[in-house]
Structure 1
Amino acid sequence: MILRSIVVLIVCAATICFFNYFPQFDYFDNELLSDPNFSNGLSNWMPSEIGVEIQPTETRTHSGDSANLRLSTQPSVTLSAPDFDHAIHLSQAIPLVPTGSLLHVSSYIKTLDVIEGARPWETARIVLLAYDHFGKAIYNQPHLLISKNGTSDWTYHERVFRVNENTTKLQLIIQLIHAKGQLEVKSPSIRQVKPNIAFERYRCWFIAIWTCLGLWIAFPLVCRAAQSRNQAAILVIGIGILAGVLMPQAIKEYIGDMLWSSADMAAVHDHGEPMRVFKLTTSLPELDKYKYGHFVMFALLCVAASKRSPFNPPIFQTVQLTILFAVATEVLQLFAPGRGPQLGDIIIDTAGIFTGSVLSMLSRLRKH
């Protein structure tokens, strides 16, 4: 078991390094946005009549015991709405590229006290919107870069979108529609990309490595599951977690909507393909039905794994192995279409594991 654990850790680290640092796309040289840094103000953009203004980005440099304020050369744009009655937006049409082209869209954003309106899309958003031959917006294909509420510091967001065959016009829109608060954006960018062939080749090798590793670990578990009901429960829960982890985002959301119906079906399935990177940030992701499901499943797995015998293995060893499984499943999401693994998800899984361990210890105390 120790050897298997070490091998899993090594493969996890190698996979994260590969996806985070090996280039996934080859970028075309041309930036498709005109004046993305707002150096000419809003002359290349189409703002709403109110609520949009340019302001310099402030950074602080320290000199001795005093802090001197220095203005950055890259200004930002701020969208402000004091109430829910206005549609604040800033947009720019971009040159049309051939059908099937991939567009990498990115931007830094910052929010302050954003409160969404009555509908899910009435919030702080950045979208890459396509229009058909009739000039009608195509909302049933991926178009959302970011949608955010509340308050957050500067964060970088990026996604890849494929140009639909019916597209006759493309437009980047920064919006605060019937939502209250403030959205600040800097350095938006749209660049045409194409897949890096070398990345795809090495990705296939990593899939083969993970497959072999999974078979090496699963074989003894399957053998023991045939002899023990509790081992079978551990195996079933583990398979259930893996099925949820490796499920493509579109199928995951479809099943989620079937189980927990949504009042606004048009508000889902609109994200572009995320960059396949492991987000090494400890900030917790937004809690939803899927995160609660992860919490419960890992709690159940820890409870089942702790019942193999009264005091063997020690509970801390069970917790360690279950956390390692949580890390491995999160890393595996790098291979699932549309999924975005991050360190914050592991924190949620770990919370479920510790909850399960506490329940197991309480159960043991009652029996003894």
Structure 2
Amino acid sequence: MSLFKIQCWLFILLTGTTLTSHTWIPQYEQNGSELLTSHWQYKVLGNSQVDLTSTGFTLFSNNATTITSIYQNIPEVTPGTILLLSADVKCNDVIAGEKPWNQARLLLLQADEKKERWDLSTVIVSLTGTHDWKNYQGIFTVSPATQSIRIIAQLSQATGSLQVNNIKLYSIRETRMFTMTRNITLSAWGVFFLLLTGSWLFNNKHSIFMRLLLVCAFISIIAGTTFPGDTKNQVSDEVKTHFHTQSESLKATILWDLSKIWHFCSFLLLGLIIALMMTQEPLSRVIFIVFSLGAGTELAQLYIEGRTPLVADFFIDAIGGIIGIILINIFYIRHNSDKPSY
């Protein structure tokens, strides 16, 4: 069996096992008792109203200039603890305010010694309009500096009603089966990626410079894939801050997620290099390498903390790689056509 056929079968096998294992193997199990009590506090102004029931609470507001909220402070939780907050939520005729956060929201807010940490992931659900009952869940890791946690449901300068039932908060931990499956799956994808590019990386027919470029493109793609969600966001925010302080005109030109630009450029470079190194190979094989690497890096994110695979991201990667392949093929065709014929 040829190497190309082995790569195809491995890709199909890994895709199937990754999706199946992630669907059927539970990631978390409860690791503590319920942290919420019936002792809720609330803040209302004017005609706003908060009604407590045996199963939850309802918020009403007809004033778009005030915040109607109900909250509960949680006793000190050990840093590093993973918390699961879940609730059944329904809203009716919610009209949003001017700001993006002026909606019907349920959130978990961490605070350190100095301030509330709005930069951390906080929102379970944010709704406008009318939505029937649906269960929402959010998973949060308590940061090292966190000293207090507050669970909040609010109509933040928005009108309408918000109903919350069966709200629960408890600590969780990863199941052993999930941890083992994650390690095996990520290792398997790593071996597959090396198999895709390794045959060209260790081929002495290609120059050291070309192989070095291939390594750079490969490392760039893998690094962008394996960054945990918080790390990825922090790096992206720091880069944006640097750009914003350098130039206001540059600030206005950054319209897209920097991580997506990174991946597009990385796959563009990969497409250029692979196409240049495989000029004697069928075009279908070159495209397979780009597509399988793009799909594989997205699927691997199922097992990376804080990351979510997106079909749109796969297409961004694929388009970058295809453009690189097209550019090399155009150059190759023109180069050959410019040669004198005898």
TM-score (norm 2): 0.68
Bigger Rg, which one: 2
Deviations 1:239-296 (A, max 9, x none): 21111111233433333233221799xxxxxxxxxxxxxxxxxxxxx95221232233
- Separation of aligned partners in 2, 1:299 and 1:81: 52
Which of the numbers 17, 22, 25 marks the counterpart of 1:19?
22
Question: What does residue 246 of structure 1 align with?
Answer: 226
* 2:12 paired with 1:9: yes
* Cα offset, 1:324, TM superposition: 0.8
Distance (Å, rounded) in 2 between the aligned partners of 1:97 and 1:79: 31
Partner residue, 2:123: 145
- Output aligned runs, 1:90-105, within 5 Å: 90-94=70-74, 101-105=81-85
Displacement of 1:172: 0.8
The answer to which structure has the higher helix fraction is: 2
Distance 1:123 1:363, change over 3 A: farther
In 1, distance between residues paired with 2:195 and 2:18?
18
2: CA distance between counterparts of 1:151 and 1:322?
Answer: 42
Deviation at 1:297, TM superposition (A): 2.5
Is the counterpart of residue 129 in structure 1 residue 109 in structure 2? Answer: yes
Instruction: Give the alignment of 1:1-368 within 5 angstroms.
Output: 1-27=4-30, 31-33=34-36, 46=42, 48-49=44-45, 85-94=65-74, 101-107=81-87, 114=96, 117=99, 125-130=105-110, 138-139=116-117, 142=120, 144-146=122-124, 156-162=136-142, 167=147, 169-175=148-154, 177=156, 186=164, 188-224=167-203, 227-228=206-207, 229-230=209-210, 232-261=212-241, 288-308=257-277, 312-314=281-283, 316-360=284-328, 363=331, 368=337
Contact residue 290 and residue 321 of structure 2 kept, 8 A: yes
What is the alpha-carbon distance in structure 2 between the residues aligned to residue 305 and residue 215 of structure 1? 14
Is the 1:78–1:184 contact (alpha carbons within 8 Å) kept by the matching residues of 2? yes
Secondary structure of residue in 2 paired with 1:159: strand
- Secondary structure of the corresponding residue to residue 30 of structure 2: strand
Q: Where does the alignment leave 5 or more consecutive residues of structure 2 unmatched?
A: 245-254, 338-342
Secondary structure at the counterpart of residue 202 of structure 2: helix
Give the whole-Å Cα distance in 1 for the aligned partners of 2:324 and 2:60.
45
Alpha-carbon deviation of 1:21?
2.5
The alpha carbon displacement at 1:323 in A equals 1.2
**Matched-pair identity in %:** 20
Query: Which piece of structure 1 moves more, 247-256 or 89-98?
Result: 89-98
Conserved 8 A contact 1:116-1:123: no
What amino acid sits opposite 1:26 in the alignment? E
CA separation of 1:204/1:88 partners in 2, compared to 1, >3 Å: closer, same or farther? Answer: same
Alpha-carbon shift at residue 159 of structure 1 (Å) = 1.3
The one-letter amino acid paired with 2:16 is A
State the shift of 1:300 in Å.
3.3
> Number of paired residues?
314
Q: Flag the 1:28–1:217 CA change in 2: closer, same or farther, 3 A.
A: same
